[in-house]
Amino acid sequence: MDKDFHKTFDHCPACGSTLQFCKELGEELRERGLARPEFIMRYDMRQGVVVDQNRAAPMPIGINLPGGSITTDICMDCGAVYAVDIQRIEGRTQAAPLPTGNKPLPAFDKFSLGNIRAN
């Protein structure tokens, strides 16, 4: 796939309507001064990279992986949810996050020392 792949869809593939529900809501917010002029509201946006989970652990930190960005909206005429924007992106592997500390460490006491005697 071309690394610069990017495609937008301005009409519903089911009925051909150009009315997009969330985009219209965003326009109303802009008109009322409740959103920035460049703000565009969409139903959903997902981004991610393609990773074989069996190969993820040994991957070095900092390598680029292919991924995608998909933005959807809802047709105001027929209700279909469809992609309005799809794009190929690059993602970089990162170090795994440190444990959050949700599980406390076991208490240290004289009985947990095994064969060592406490005075």
Above 70 in pLDDT, residue 114? no
Pick from 9-18, 82-91, 110-119: least confident = 110-119
Closest Cα partner for 85 from 66, 68, 72?
72
User: pLDDT per residue over 88-101, tens digit each?
Assistant: 998 877 666 666 66
User: pLDDT per residue over 34-64, tens digit each?
Assistant: 999 999 899 999 998 877 777 766 777 778 8
Closest Cα partner for 48 from 61, 65, 60, 23?
65
User: pLDDT per residue over 21-32, tens digit each?
Assistant: 999 999 999 999
**Token pair in block for residue 104:** 């406390």
| Domain ranges, ordered by start, for the chain | 6-17+44-93
**Token pair in block for residue 41:** 């509201």
